[in-house]
Amino acid sequence: MGAIAMKLMSVNVGMPTQVEINGNQVNTGIYKTPQTGKVWLSKTNLAGDGQADLTVHGGEFQAAYSYPVEHYSYWEKTLGKSQLPYGTFGENFTVSGMLEDEVYVGDTFAIGDAIVEATMPRIPCFKFGHKIGKPDILPTFLASGRSGFYHKVIQEGYVQAGDKIERLSHDANSITIRRALGLQKLEEGDMEALQHALGIQQLPPLLRQVYQQRLSLLSTQTANI
């Protein structure tokens, strides 16, 4: 699907650390550093990596986070910064050839010795805005569609920068990560689109809950017209 070869450009990890945001000490795991050599990917995360708030990050459906390297030039221009380092967006995997409109919910990929499944878009929190010095960036980030995406780990294994990435399976009935983001956060899609999405077998519980809520709301609005 992607013209560019899929490749793992960088593996980035970091343990939660304390930072000051608006006078408050906040625990965050968004600071990730590129790693050399092989890194073990388990069912829950990468070795040496951690998440501060497990209610919104981590867990089975958010074990690792990929961000397309193709977006770096866009953000460098938008933010007025040069040569942003890999891991800037808090991603574990900086990847090439895996854009949000080419990767589908439920697609599985071989990376190194591991197998992962694309699950859902990443919705950033205020800590990301603080990290890059733009507290008001979140609406812009979402509207750009450049969300990156989370993975579920199907098979544990070692991964390292330079590994090629191979798509193993694809459900033609599924939706792209970009479409999933639109239905989740950008008020895109109608009742039919939501019903279609809810029929996807691999849809993560969080998206299923959000889509069902939106569908109920639209149904109520339609009934009241």
The reply to whether 215 falls in a domain is no
The reply to whether 57 falls in a domain is yes
Average pLDDT, integer, range 19-31? 79
Share of the chain above pLDDT 70, in %: 95
| Count of domains forming the chain | 1
pLDDT in tens, 86-135: 999 999 999 999 999 999 999 999 999 999 999 999 998 777 888 887 88
In whole angstroms, what is the distance from residue 157 CA to residue 143 CA? 34
The reply to whether 116 falls in a domain is yes
pLDDT in tens, 126-174: 778 888 878 888 899 999 999 999 999 999 999 999 999 999 999 999 9
The reply to whether 72 falls in a domain is yes
Q: Within a 10 A sphere around the Cβ of 218, how many other Cβ atoms?
A: 14
Identify the CATH number of the domain in which residue 41 sits.
2.40.33.20
The reply to whether 45 falls in a domain is yes
pLDDT in tens, 38-84: 999 999 999 998 766 655 556 899 999 999 999 999 999 999 998 99
The reply to whether 198 falls in a domain is no
Range of the domain at 156: 7-175
- In 3D, which of 161, 166, 120, 160 has the Cα closest to residue 1? 166
The reply to whether 183 falls in a domain is no
